[in-house]
Amino acid sequence: MGDPGNAFAPVPVIDPDAFEDFEGLRETTLAVFTDAKVNTLLREFVDFVYTVCLEYSKYWPREPEGSFKHQTRAALADLRHLQGYVAMLAQQHVDAALEDDEERLSVVCGRLAPRLAKIGDALERELGPREEA
């Protein structure tokens, strides 16, 4: 068990209009770090790394498809991760002993995972095959 003297780090509620305030590690990864000090340290470190990367990016090779398609493919990759994560949560009502409210959430996740798949499929179709350099 963790140190009871350490503060707990809740998962933030992210306003989609402020998504840039949450660049870096996925929240599904950061949720593992429940110690508030460690969680904050990771967020601050990754924010620093992200800022340095943006400043240095002028020296990196150009994306063969252009920046916009490259960023859209990155968003699709994050969406596919979320799709898989939500599908895993959906399976928990079968594989794990859950409280009633957790079981209800698991069932909801089961209904939502296919919707995420449809969104990803639509975006993937619009992107088309990856253009090679």
Among the residue ranges 47-51, 120-124, 127-131, the one predicted with the least confidence is: 127-131
Confidence of residue 79 (pLDDT cuts 50, 70, 90): very high
How would you class 68 by CB atoms within 10 Å of its CB: exposed for 0-12, middle for 13-18, buried for 19 or more?
exposed
Domains of the chain: which residue ranges?
A: 1-60, 64-133
- The answer to whether 72 touches 123, Cβ cutoff 8 Å, is yes
pTM, 2 dp: 0.86
